[in-house]
Amino acid sequence: MSERKVFGGGDFLVGDIAKEDIFIPEDFNNEQKMVGKAALDFVNKELADHAEEIERKNESNVREWFAKAGELGLNASDIPEEYGGEGMDKISACLVSEAMGRAHSFAVSHSCQTGIGSLPIYLFGTEEQKKKFLPKLATGEYIGAYCLTEAGAGSDALNATATATLSEDGTHYLLNGEKIFITNGAWADIFTVFAKVDGEKFTGFILEKGFEGLSTGAEEDKLGIKGSSTVSVIMKDCKVPVENLLFTIGAGHKIAFNVLNIGRYKLGATALGAQKGAMGLAIKYANERVQFGKKINTFGMIRNKLAQMAIKTYMTESIVFRLAAAIDDKMNTLDDEARKNGEEIAKAIEEYSVECAIAKVFGSEVLDYCVDELVQIYGGNGYIAEYPAERAYRDSRINRIFEGTNEINRLVITGNILKTTMKGKLPLMEAVGRGMKEIESINPAEFSIDSKLALQNQMLNNAKLLFLLTVNTVTQKLLETLKDDQEVIEQLAEIIIELFAMESGLLRASKVLESKGEKKAELHLTAVKAYFAETLPKLAVLAKNVLAFAETGDPLKKLMSEVEKLSNVPQENVIGLKRQIADRVIKSRKYPF
């Protein structure tokens, strides 16, 4: 297999990506498949049927599960072997996260352990800190927590008021403050805590269970994820040795924001696993439940729900593993020295901050869609706690808040695209120039539906042109005030998210078509056709909303006509396409791809 081209963050907006240059789930090698199977076997054996036991939050049980996961290497996918980890590629690490997505609220505990609970030390710790803490986090002997949020510092994390003051003898810091909503807090042995040195310099510290002046509050009574520990962490003149300062004074933001990038794409993978789990429950119930003398899987509206769940999950899966491989490819460009340097690793991942945010937003919102339809398929039973739909519905909701709210992530998506453009790292305005000329030459009468994906390729191109048309007007008319026009930022982000999803799904289907033939690719093609048919009109509406805010009069009329031209494509038989997918879903009794 030839090497994939390494793309920069946001490149999907400004050029054509070849199918050969992206990774798809059908490309998993044997080692990756074995990792995914081992993780899913662990979840199915130890956790999947023990939701109520998980929700009792018995610490001895939690430590036992972490220890068993540690024996399988599932706590340390990103930690290098020299520190007791597995050093997995990002694709394998996402397969572990996907499997854990079916582990009810233990998924949250485990995600914290393998992500924000350990990665700050791996990426930014000293050699001594890594050797001291990482091996025990890898085995599960230690449980990790991450303490960033405060009552007045949620999305605005740098507004923290926790302080750190160096002692007169220079041997330790005294930390004061309270952190809230701390996952794993009641069980944690290691806490990554952020505080301001001298009340000004935002800095990371490693706190250890038993430190003088460190305590935790009562468990929060939460809407969902009841099996995870969520407490406040309180520091009253908490004595922290100077050797436990993490990275450098005043650089806590680098730790916090770079670790969030990793957490975001992994949350997309975890959400993917939960989507597949919700689909499995929905299919099983629909195949068994009888109403009006028929199984409800024969009713068109139920079948449509199952099809839509499968299509959206397909797009999530395409996004997650495309991104994981892109990060792997970027990491492989680093020399041996850089690959040992956590800051260099973080920079490589930061390259894809937009795509990480997309994976988080798309995955969490598709999961919410799936569990909402799961409850609806269960009907009244879906609202009753003894049935699994109710728990899945409650557990899902937090994902749109975790790792930066989806609102913050949408600001990141649009903001970072514009920032990289202004810095000359993304040739967006050159693409705008080419796009404006191309729009003039487009003739909708030339579009046609065929048995493959020619129309969808044209639709993706048109969708990108819609974005370029819109961003061109925004940069000309609104750039100076854009930071205050959050509604515009949000709708631009929505277009960007959908472009990445559309392209990921289309390239995947195209690659399967080429490698396996039309018969085996049929379901892929069907999913992509149905998704595109419903998504391009949505993008046209978003573009119109932004353009109508930015422009008026004759210029607006011209823009509207260009939007109409770009979105005027032949209509697919979406109902028929979804019926085909529903047939396969019901027959296979699971996510069918």
- Residues labelled catalytic: 403
Q: Cα(399)–Cα(249) distance, rounded to whole angstroms?
A: 31
d(CA 245, CA 473): 47
Q: E strand or H helix at 130, and its extent?
A: helix 127-139
* Closest to 23 measured CA to CA, from 525, 508, 350, 503: 508
**CA–CA–CA angle 186, 192, 195 (5° rounding):** 110
Residue type, 132: K
Cβ atoms of 214 and 189 closer than 8 Å: no
SS (H, E, C) 361-405: HHHHHHHHHHHHHHHHHHHHHHHCCCCHHHHHHHHHHHHHCCCCC
Q: Residue 385: exposed, middle, or buried by beta-carbon count in 10 A (0-12, 13-18, 19+)?
A: exposed
Per the structure block, which two tokens stand in for 131? 């050797």
Residues in the chain: 593
Cα separation, 373 vs 382, in Å, equals 10
- Three-state DSSP state, 7: coil
The radius of gyration of the chain from alpha carbons, rounded to an integer in Å, stands at 24
Structure tokens that stand for 234 in this block: 């309180």
Query: Which amino acid appears at position 22 of this protein?
Result: I
β-pairing, 294-295 with 290-291?
A: antiparallel
Pairing mode of beta strands 230-241, 201-208:
unpaired
- Cβ contact 359:9 at 8 Å: no
Alpha carbon distance 334, 132 (integer Å):
26
| Cβ 242 vs Cβ 230: under 8 Å | no
- Residue 548 in tokens: 């109508």
Return the axis-axis angle of helices 252-288 and 90-100, rounded to nearest 10°.
50
User: Measured between alpha carbons, how far is 480 from 458 in angstroms, rounded to an integer?
Assistant: 33
